[in-house]
A and B are shown apart, each in its own frame.
Chain A
Amino acid sequence: MNHESVDVVVIGAGAAGMAAATRMAGLGLQVVLLDEQGSPGGQIYRGITLAPLSRRDLLGPDYAHGNQLAQALTSSSVRYEKGASVWQVTRDHQVSYLREGHLYTLDAKAVLLATGAMERPFPIVGWTLPGVMSAGAAQILLKSSGLAPSEPLVLAGCGPLLYLLGWQYLRAGVTIKALVDTTRPEDYWRARRHLLTALRAWPYLRKGLELMRSLRSAGIAQFTGAEQLAVEGEEEAQALTFSVSGKAHRIATRCVLLHQGVVPNIQFSQALRARHVWDLDQLCFRPVTDPWGELDVPGVYIAGDGAGIGGAQAAAVQGQLAALGIAARLMTIGTAERDEQARPLRVQLESSLRIRPFLDALYQPKEQNRIPADEVMVCRCEEVTAGELRSFVALGCAGPNQAKSFGRCGMGPCQGRMCGLTVTEVIAKARGVSADEVGYYRIRPPIKPITLGELAGE
């Protein structure tokens, strides 16, 4: 296996990763940026360097902004390796990855995890049928391939990404059959205590209001307070059913796009056994860090949505803060200089996070869509239902790892990405304890699959 020593390895070329790598290179550090995609941008800025101008225009100004980060990266001295699939990060800063069929290992003085977020699972009846995708998936198809649904689709769930996608589809002339929103009046009521703070993020709020207004005036069938969502179909999605105020609805469609927020991708941070806490506002696990993004694993940092959902702008700022923290740790700059350079960044960060508490409260995913009924499949890979999971708890399983050993949930190819949060919450509810007490799956390498031959070095 090829070993090489470098100063810093950054994993993930999204907003945080690009900003951090560029800044560290600017400070004179030798930085390697690894990303599994073929071009930079992560998910929010997916395909930014390849998108034709018309597509960038369609997707909106926030997306186009990513281009600045990508260009700064390209003009920097960062060694950017695309198509690099990282399969292991150790507590002593070894980063192992697969690239074009070969394994490489980098020995770094510091590692920055910038692997971002992923869609929160949306476990409802029928969610595994072909034709059901996350709204994020549809947005990726739009961003990187210029594709949109070819027939009337249904958007279901809640959260800014759902409405943004709807708005982008309207601009593209795509027919949206219905917007089925799970947001209820109680959610507005709960969010009200954050309204003053949100108003201080007026530009964002205004953008959101305009977006919602466009959707509303587009003549799409809209439902709010939707419950009991289920997808009907045998071999593929045929309809979305739900109820509003007790009245049943059924909308025939082959394309159901689900969304109820994004959550940190914690595969690497969990594999490192870093300390995580259950965030009661965002209802997910996030790693515990110091103000520079350092985990309780010395020399390993995290920035961006992987540390807690904050959006692309916050991610870029956090990336830079982590860059400063790492530079000071490696003694490229002193702590005084670090703090000095961090000052304006902290102001920016506070500003870009201002809208979050309001959004988190308003678009909190509903319990029935997080802790599903017995018949709903929780582990898609191994096909384990919520009911089976509850039966393991009745047998004495106290947490996800015992449940995993009893029923294989979490053992499939995705290694718990799609079911981890659901399993924790189902068990917590069944036992009547907190999610923190239940804990999360034990995550192990390889974080991405490698072949036995590749591992053997053949």
Chain B
Amino acid sequence: MRTDPLFQPVVSEARATRSVSLTFNDQPLTVPAGISVAAALLMSGISRFRATPVSESPRAPYCMMGVCFECLVDIDGVPNRQSCLIEVADNMRIRSQEGARDLICQPMNVRTVEVQS
């Protein structure tokens, strides 16, 4: 669910020269190249990254440096990835991490990214 973005580019910065297209829960997003997935989601209006396994509470990044493990999302079929440590890439498919990962309903070893026509 998208809301008004919590973060936006600082006005004084020149626009990034390259953009990247990816999806979050199947919604297409266009973000600057070179930033982390967590930063990309925050600037795109995503304020809920996951639901906790214990109580399904909504969570979002807290520390942005790989310490808090709150920014976990599913990237290209691999669950529970620390999105603040991963750079955005074209055609990335990002999904919110809804509780504990599911081994059975998930294809194993999904590493290749389908190229969208």
Any A–B CB pair closer than 8 Å: yes
Among B9, B12, B32, B62, max chain A CB count under 10 A is at: B62
Contact of B42 among A50, A128, A141 (CB under 8 A): A141
Q: Name the A residues within 8 Å of B68 (CB-CB).
A: 380, 414, 417-418
CB of B5 within 8 A of CB of A140, answer no
Least Cβ–Cβ distance between B108 and chain A, in angstroms:
10
Among the 9-residue stretches A142-150, A206-214, A289-297, A322-330, the one with 4 or more Cβ atoms under 8 Å from chain B is: A142-150
Q: Name the B residues within 8 Å of A106 (CB-CB).
A: none
**Interchain residue pairs A-B with the least CB separation, the first 10:** A130-B60, A137-B64, A413-B69, A150-B8, A145-B39, A145-B35, A140-B64, A147-B7, A414-B69, A383-B54
CB of A254 within 8 A of CB of B67, answer no
Cβ-closest chain B residue relative to A236: B47
**Tally of contact residues, A, Cβ under 8 A:** 50
CB of B7 within 8 A of CB of A141, answer yes
Complex CA distance for A119 and B62, rounded to whole angstroms: 10
Contact of B4 among A142, A148, A150, A381 (CB under 8 A): A150
CB of A254 within 8 A of CB of B6, answer yes
CB of B36 within 8 A of CB of A265, answer no
CB of B10 within 8 A of CB of A36, answer no
CB of A144 within 8 A of CB of B61, answer no
Whether, in the assembled complex, B89 has its beta carbon less than 8 Å from a beta carbon of chain A, the answer is no
Cβ-closest chain B residue relative to A234: B58
A interface residue numbers (CB < 8 A to B): 36-38, 43, 50, 52, 54-55, 58, 118-119, 128-134, 136-138, 140-142, 144-151, 172-174, 235-236, 254-255, 265, 380-383, 412-414, 417-418, 448
> Which positions 12-46 of chain B face chain A at CB distance < 8 Å?
12-14, 32, 34-36, 39, 42-43
Complex CA distance for A140 and B65, rounded to whole angstroms: 8
CB of B11 within 8 A of CB of A172, answer yes
If A236-B47, A380-B68, A383-B54 touch, does A149 touch B7 (CB 8 Å cutoff)?
Answer: yes
Cβ-closest chain A residue relative to B31: A145
CB of A38 within 8 A of CB of B87, answer yes
CB of B57 within 8 A of CB of A128, answer yes
> Which positions 82-116 of chain B face chain A at CB distance < 8 Å?
84-85, 87
Q: Name the A residues within 8 Å of B54 (CB-CB).
A: 382-383
Among B64, B69, B80, max chain A CB count under 10 A is at: B64
CB of B12 within 8 A of CB of A236, answer no
Least Cβ–Cβ distance between B5 and chain A, in angstroms:
5
If A130-B59, A172-B12 touch, does A413 touch B80 (CB 8 Å cutoff)?
Answer: yes
CB of A147 within 8 A of CB of B42, answer yes
Q: Name the A residues within 8 Å of B52 (CB-CB).
A: 383
Question: 5 A-B residue contacts at CB 8 Å?
Answer: A130-B58, A134-B62, A144-B39, A149-B7, A265-B67
Contact of A150 among B7, B39, B72, B84 (CB under 8 A): B7
If A150-B7, A383-B52, A383-B55 touch, does A131 touch B47 (CB 8 Å cutoff)?
Answer: yes
Q: Name the A residues within 8 Å of B80 (CB-CB).
A: 413
Complex CA distance for A150 and B63, rounded to whole angstroms: 18
Contact of B6 among A144, A255, A265, A412 (CB under 8 A): A255
Whether, in the assembled complex, B70 has its beta carbon less than 8 Å from a beta carbon of chain A, the answer is yes
B interface residue numbers (CB < 8 A to A): 4-14, 32, 34-36, 39, 42-43, 47-49, 52, 54-55, 57-70, 72, 80, 84-85, 87
Q: Name the B residues within 8 Å of A133 (CB-CB).
A: 60-64
Other A-B contacts than A58-B12, A137-B62, 5 sampled, CB-CB below 8 A, are A52-B14, A151-B4, A174-B10, A236-B58, A381-B69
Contact of A418 among B10, B43, B67 (CB under 8 A): B67
Q: Name the A residues within 8 Å of B12 (CB-CB).
A: 54, 58, 172-173
Among B9, B13, B65, max chain A CB count under 10 A is at: B65
CB of B6 within 8 A of CB of A54, answer no
If A55-B10, A146-B13 touch, does A380 touch B70 (CB 8 Å cutoff)?
Answer: yes
Contact of B64 among A52, A136, A174, A448 (CB under 8 A): A136
Complex CA distance for A144 and B42, rounded to whole angstroms: 14
Complex CA distance for A123 and B55, rounded to whole angstroms: 18
Contact of A36 among B5, B35, B48, B66 (CB under 8 A): B66
CB of A412 within 8 A of CB of B4, answer no
Contact of B48 among A144, A173, A235, A417 (CB under 8 A): A235
If A37-B85, A144-B35, A150-B6 touch, does A173 touch B65 (CB 8 Å cutoff)?
Answer: no
Complex CA distance for A236 and B85, rounded to whole angstroms: 23
Q: Name the A residues within 8 Å of B5 (CB-CB).
A: 150
Complex CA distance for A134 and B68, rounded to whole angstroms: 11
CB of A148 within 8 A of CB of B10, answer yes
Q: Name the B residues within 8 Å of A417 (CB-CB).
A: 67-68
Q: Name the B residues within 8 Å of A142 (CB-CB).
A: 10
Q: Name the A residues within 8 Å of B47 (CB-CB).
A: 130-131, 236, 254
Complex CA distance for A55 and B52, rounded to whole angstroms: 35
Least Cβ–Cβ distance between A249 and chain B, in angstroms:
22
